[in-house]
Amino acid sequence: MSRNAYIVGTGHHVPEHVVTNADMEKIVDTSDEWITTRTGIKERRKVEGSTASSDLVSVAVQNAMEMAGWKPSDVQGIIVGTVTPDYPFPSTAALVADRLKMGNIPAYDFEAGCTAFIYGLIQAKAFIESGIMDRMIVVGVDCLTKITNWDDRGSCILFGDGAGAVAVSSEGPGGRLGGWHWGSDGSLGEHLMQIGGGSKNPASHGTVDRNEHTIFMNGARIFKHAVRAMHDSCMKALEQDGTEKKDVDLLVSHQANLRIIDATARALELEPEQVYINIQKYGNTSAASIPIALDEAYRSDAIRETSTVVLAAFGAGLTWGGMILHW
Ligand code: COA
């Protein structure tokens, strides 16, 4: 009998500290009006002091395990999508597995920018359907405010911090992982990157002086790519799933810009109540944005027992991806 993979628990965690658009007006030459009309963002969350990705992940994972009814020893593997791990190594996944006493399970980080959570779900589907694992945790986390260029008004107003997690099992009931699509185009990678800190430009006084440990973004170029990538990802995932647009109940997409979400919703011919939006509260939380939105949608009953949900994202790489979930 063929095996399926189901989301049986969701959880998220965001830092308490709120940074409003009025706060941003004190940092760069901007306005609440500009940020709201161009992005849909009203406020975002920011970690303080030495709080790092693993701290947010630990709480998000505990929430997901609680919903799933799992003990830490039930988890057979944990994978964490992030571009802001606690350290280049060891992995944030291994740190969290240890902190939550999951035992000596496989634990690793991977990177696909803001698309990471969808890449993670596709990995989970492969691991579970092939029988490599029965129960695993997929996490998306980023603390982008730690690598934000606070002098660049074109990017610093966008980002916030957060973590989201799902428990994926070979046994339902839950949200079955269905059709998917994923891709990348490294020739466009230069439009969204952190130039310093890797093997090409290792950390040095020069990289710090040139602000190369922060995010460089060509916003207009990314915007153009994003609209097309989100549309393509949804359509290809739906086609692979054998589901038509009219059968979609809810879109839970990456929360990067309200105008990008609206364009995706229009392409899917969805009504406003069929689109889950929380960008106004959190800004762009990168790899965490979809699992945070998914958890909120699930706990607020926007997802019901028979919902068909479309996930779609794009991000650094450039990468993109989509997945269909059937509750
Ligand atoms: N406040 C006020 N003005 C700002 C501003 C800010 N925070 N940021 C940029 N501007 C100005 C620009 O300087 C420019 O002024 P000019 O015309 O005098 O040169 C003007 O606003 C328009 O800038 P532009 O970059 O064309 O705006 P936009 O409509 O493309 O919106 C983004 C900018 C960044 C909001 C938009 O491009 C975007 O969301 N891109 C995608 C980014 C993204 O999703 N990145 C993450 C990928 S996961």
DSSP, res 170: S
Same domain, 116 and 184: no
Q: Which residues of 27-55 are buried (b: 16+ CB within 10 A; e: fewer)?
A: eeebeeeebeebbbbbbbbbbeeeebbbb
Same domain, 193 and 163: no
Give a yes or no: residue 194 inside a domain.
yes
170 lines ligand 1 (CB under 6 A): no
Q: What is the rounded distance in angstroms from the CA atom of residue 129 to the CA atom of residue 237?
A: 18
pLDDT of residue 1: 72
Structure token pair of residue 198: 């890797």
The owner of tokens 């030459």 is 29
pLDDT of residue 11: 98
Vertex 285 angle, CA 271 and 270, to 5°: 10
CB count within 10 Å of CB 221 equals 14
Q: What is the rounded distance in angstroms from the CA atom of residue 326 to the CA atom of residue 246?
A: 14
Same domain, 137 and 187: no
Q: What is the rounded distance in angstroms from the CA atom of residue 91 to the CA atom of residue 107?
A: 8
**Protein residue with its CA nearest to atom 19 in ligand 1:** 154
Instruction: State whether residue 10 is helix, strand or coil.
Output: strand
Mean pLDDT by 10 residues, the chain (327 residues): 94 98 98 98 98 98 98 98 98 98 98 98 98 98 98 97 98 97 97 97 97 96 95 97 96 97 96 97 98 97 93 97 98
34 lines ligand 1 (CB under 6 A): yes
Q: What is the rounded distance in angstroms from the CA atom of residue 233 to the CA atom of residue 318?
A: 13
- 254 tagged catalytic: yes
Give a yes or no: residue 167 inside a domain.
yes
Which residues share a beta bridge with 198? none
Give a yes or no: residue 251 inside a domain.
yes
Q: What is the rounded distance in angstroms from the CA atom of residue 295 to the CA atom of residue 325?
A: 13
pLDDT of residue 305: 86
The owner of tokens 């660049």 is 152
Same domain, 43 and 61: yes
Output the domain CATH number for residue 304: 3.40.47.10
Q: What is the rounded distance in angstroms from the CA atom of residue 308 to the CA atom of residue 285?
A: 24
For residue 218, the CA-to-ligand 1 centroid distance in Å is 9
Contact 29, 192 (CB under 8 A): no
- 156 tagged catalytic: no
For residue 153, the CA-to-ligand 1 centroid distance in Å is 8
Q: What is the rounded distance in angstroms from the CA atom of residue 206 to the CA atom of residue 219?
A: 25
Half-sphere exposure at residue 217, Cβ-oriented, CA atoms within 13 angstroms: 26
Q: What is the rounded distance in angstroms from the CA atom of residue 179 to the CA atom of residue 158?
A: 30
For residue 94, the CA-to-ligand 1 centroid distance in Å is 37
Same domain, 272 and 150: no
Same domain, 153 and 67: yes
Same domain, 269 and 310: yes
Residue 269's domain comprises: 178-199+206-277+294-326
Q: Which of 223, 230, 260 to mutate to test the pocket of ligand 1 (most atoms within 8 A of CB)?
A: 223
318 lines ligand 1 (CB under 6 A): no
Same domain, 151 and 66: yes
pLDDT of residue 230: 96
- 12 tagged catalytic: no
153 lines ligand 1 (CB under 6 A): yes
Total domains present in the chain? 2
Q: What is the rounded distance in angstroms from the CA atom of residue 222 to the CA atom of residue 154?
A: 12
Dihedral sign, Cα of residue 59, residue 100, residue 120, residue 145: positive
Q: What is the rounded distance in angstroms from the CA atom of residue 252 to the CA atom of residue 292?
A: 10
**Protein residue with its CA nearest to atom 33 in ligand 1:** 219
114 lines ligand 1 (CB under 6 A): yes
Nearest ligand 1 atom to alpha carbon 157: 7
33 lines ligand 1 (CB under 6 A): no
- Of 254, 280, 261, 259, the C-alpha closest to 42 is 280
DSSP, res 211: T
